[in-house]
Every structure is written in C-alpha cells, then in structure tokens.
Amino acid sequence: MSVGMYTYTFGGKNGTRHALHESSDLVAVRTKNSRDLDTAVISEKGKKALLSLKLVAEFPEADITVFRTKAAAKDRIAVRNKVKSVLRKEPELRFVGKVLVEEDGKTVVLYTENIFIKFHDDITADKCEAILSDSHLKIKQKTGFAENSYFVSAPEDTGLRIFGIAESLLQMKEVELCHPDLIRKRGLKKIDPRQWHLMATTIGGVRIDEGVSADMAHKFTLGENVTIALIDDGFDIDHAEFNSPGKVVHSRDIASNSNNPRPQNGWDNHGTACAGVALAGGREASGVAPLARLMPVRLSSSLGSIAEANAFLWAADHGADIISCSWGPEDGNWSDPADPVHTTLVDLPDSTRLAIDYAVAKGRGGRGCVITFAAGNGNEDCRFDGYASCQKVMAVAACNDNGKRCIYSDYGKEIWCSFPSSDLGYEPFEHPEPRTPGLFTTDRTGKPGYNPEGDYTDSFGGTSGSCPGVAGTAALILSVNPGLTWKQVKQLIRDSCDKIDTEGGNYDPDGHSIFYGFGRVNAEKAVIMALSLKTASDQSRKQKPRTRNSGVNRKINA
C-alpha cells in the first residue's frame, strides 16, 4: 500500500518519466555527525518507538537507516506517523521522514535535496548560474563530464518538493536535462562461490575444461602497459598481488577526495576480490591480465549519486583504458520467479549516463575507455537494469564449470558475453551441483575479508567475478593492439567468443544467446585476432618506417 506519487524524468523533456510512491509503513532516520543510531536516540519514548520498527535497509555512507513498522496493515500509516512524531524530538537525529518505493512496493529509493541539471550547450555560464540563483539553488559542483552541467542543492527542508522543482526546471527552454539526486541500495554482484576459469585443469580427479584459455593468451601478453580502473567498495592495495612497483596507479576515494582507496569498513571486501580476478600478479592467484596496472577507485556511495558519475570522470581523466563495474541495482530473489523486483526498472541517471559518454568519447586519447558491467545475479531480464543494459558498456553474464548458465545469472538481449564463475545446485530448478568451488582470487589480508584465515578466498563469484574477467581480457587485447577503439574491442570480444551450450543457449541467426550473449570469452582467440588486426594495419602503412619492436613481437619471434 502506498500514498502519494512523485515523478522524475531521465533523458530530458522527451525522455522517460518514472514514478515513485510514498510508502505507508517505511520510515527513514538520519543521525547527526555519523552517530550510531542506538546511541543517538536518548529518550525512553524514542527507544520504545525504535522497538516498534523492523530494519529494512542501511545506507551507512549517508547515515540513514530505513525501517518498517511492525503494525497491522490497517494501522500502518497511523503508527508510522506516530513514530515519526516521537523520533523528530530526538536532538541527535537530523531527519526522520517518509520513504519512497518503486512500483514493486519493495525497492527503497531515498530522495535528497540535490538536483543534477544540464543546460543546453549554447547557454552562457552566466545565464545558467543566474537561473540557478533565481531558483534558490546553490552550486555544489560544476561537473567535468558534460558542458553546462551542475550538481546543485535546494534549501534545507525542501523535502519532497524537490521533485516539483526538478520537473519545473526541466520545462524551461534553456534546460536540457534535470532530475533529483536519487539513491538506491547498490547491489554488489556476488554469490556464494573458486583458477579453473583460466585454463583446463584437473580438480578432485575431474578434468575441467570450461575456462577462457588465458594461459594460452599469456604466451603472447600478460597485459603489459594497460590500466584497468575498478570502481568498487575498497581495495587492499597492500596485498602481495598488487604491491609490486608501478602496479597501482592513480588511486582514489571518491567520497573523501583522497588518494586512499583502501577498505574503510568491515564489509569493504568486494573490490579486492574483483581486482584479483582481473589482474592479480600471479604470486598465488593470477588475474586474467597479471601485468596490467590497477587504478582502484573507491565508491562508497549508493546507486545513482553524483559520486558515481565522478568515479567515471576520474578514471577517464587519469588514463584508464578499461573500467570494470561489478555492481548495479539490487537483484530480485533468483529462486523466486514471482519476486516483483525482477521487473522493477532502475534506469540510468542522466548524470551517470553522461559520465559514461564522456569516458567512451574522451578516454584513451579519444579512442574511448572499454567499460564492463556485471549483468546481475537475480535470474532476471537485464533490460530492467539501466546500467548493464547501457549500449556503451558490455553486460557480462556468468557461466559455470559445465559450460552452462549459472543459475542466478541475469539474461536478455543486452547480454554481450559470458565469463566463468561460481554456481550452486538447486533441485527445484533441476540445476545440478557445480564440479568446482568457484573462483580463486585475492582477499583482504589478515582477518578482514571473506576468508578470515588467509589472504585469498575461494568463496567469490557471481557476475561480480565474471565482469572483471572480461575487463582482464580487454587488457590483453589492448596490450597487443593499443590502437583499437572501444567499439573495436567490444566487437573483437564478440567475434572471438566460444559458443557454449549450443542446445540450450537458444542462439539466434546473428549468433546471440540471451543467456551467454555471443558466447563465453576466449582470451587466446581474442589476442590472436587483435594481433592479426594490428598486422593488417601495419602492412597498410608500410611506407612509414618501423622504429621499434614491441615486447609482444619479441615473444612471437622468439
């Protein structure tokens, strides 16, 4: 049950309008000065009010906790309003207010008093800023990823009126794009999951040959001279796999504007594991591209924030060749086909879309950054995920050690390719147990992390593990042929994939499967194809004298 509806528009005046609904039984509570909620609520009435609530979601980077009332349906609004009234008297609580949800009634969306706005390119900066001033909006950031674009704040206590303000601004002839800053819980694309994914091997007496032939690709290149930016929750850059000279470059924590991307919380484990899949140095765990450089970009903000766009801007401006993103909207329950979250559209904000456009237009000296996104682990159609379904990225699905689809992996026409990851058996779907634990990769050193007894984990996977695997493959390609554009890399990966599960994959006449995209990545084929393209390009420019022989050519000629 919901009361009240609020709309916003992505894509400008003729774009897509979305609706959010006021929840009848959810309450958002924000503390002051990063206080813990248990200590922030002092009065007995306040503590009693908290006992009548059930925790739904936490947004620690914003000091916000979302609760649901435990009351019966008929009493929910009254109980919610009473709880709000009591908690608003607590001096250490900054905000106690309403919560908006998607059409599914489950997906929580937090509204802020901030707006992203882009004026048409021919409007002068003075005119843009005069309009903002007349609208009582304060400039917090003039973005670097799009002309005449700003991140602005409305006066405190504007509250839900922020939606009306944004929609009114969008109707002005000078304004091209405008929407409120909305944040959702960011889902990290991992499952319960273990280096069979790199090469054919024998595990437990069983021959496994469902990898990406990275070992064969390594005869040509190990990913030298290529930089992979991973945008994620934190990176243990002191790990033995990453601490060789020159391995880590241009570290950044977007939230604090510092150069320290290390984990800040006990749950910041995801980025270290993803980085290992892409480019671990090979001391114990090898990445797909073990000699590639790591650009760790820590993003602790929730989905849709301006920080998200700034992360892409940082990566593109600081020399990233590839950007890997193992995150996106929260997934529905993969084992419950009726979960309404499966068909809840989470669109790509204009701010993030423009930052991705900037990365593919301006990155790599105009050749464009290659961007990979984890497809998702909800066993749902990827088209409802505006991030992974963006046409300028590669949506990566997960396949298992039997050469079949992982049970949780998202599907759809937007899937570009698949990469091996962990899986699990599930009798109700007649899905067999996997033959291996999953992906073996780096973990935070010491007790923190997925494995408290070591610096590596064999319990990582999901499409989170698949996405950096494709990023690593792209690094091998660019290492041997750095002149390729982002579109050419994307096409090359498509053309070099292996068609797996030909009976169940339902490949169309163009060779595309909704489960595997154009197939499972084959790193060896991709590198050989990239070398062939380079040779053809070099031969067409024979009139230009060749001044040096690359490391790759030395390996081929050896």
- Residues known to be catalytic: 232, 270, 464
Question: What is the rounded CA–CA span in Å between residue 408 and residue 164?
Answer: 39
- CA gyration radius for the chain? 24
CA distances from 282 to 49, 244, 480 (A): 53, 11, 20
110-143 CB burial, b ≥16 within 10 A, e <16: bbbbbbbbbbeeebeeeebbebbeeeebeeeeeb
Amino acid letter for position 257:
N
Q: Is residue 43 a contact partner of residue 50, using CB atoms and an 8 Å limit?
A: no
Residue in the block written with tokens 């480019």 = 279
The amino acid present at 61, given as its one-letter code, is: E
Pairing of strands 227-232, 252-253: unpaired
Size of the chain, expressed as the number of residues it contains: 558
Q: How far apart are CA 557 and CA 537, in angstroms?
A: 19
Integer angstrom CA distances of residue 368 from 317, 321, 533: 11, 8, 18
Q: How far apart are CA 167 and CA 178, in angstroms?
A: 7
Cβ–Cβ < 8 Å for 186, 303? yes
Strand-pair category, 227-232 with 293-298:
parallel
CA distances from 423 to 13, 143, 435, 471 (A): 43, 41, 9, 21
Please give the distance of CA 55 from its chain centroid, rounded to a whole number. 25
DSSP H helical segments within 74-191, as ranges? 76-87, 125-134, 161-170
User: How many contiguous H segments (helices) and E segments (strands) does the chain have?
Assistant: 13, 24
Distance between CA atoms of residues 329 and 346, nearest Å: 7
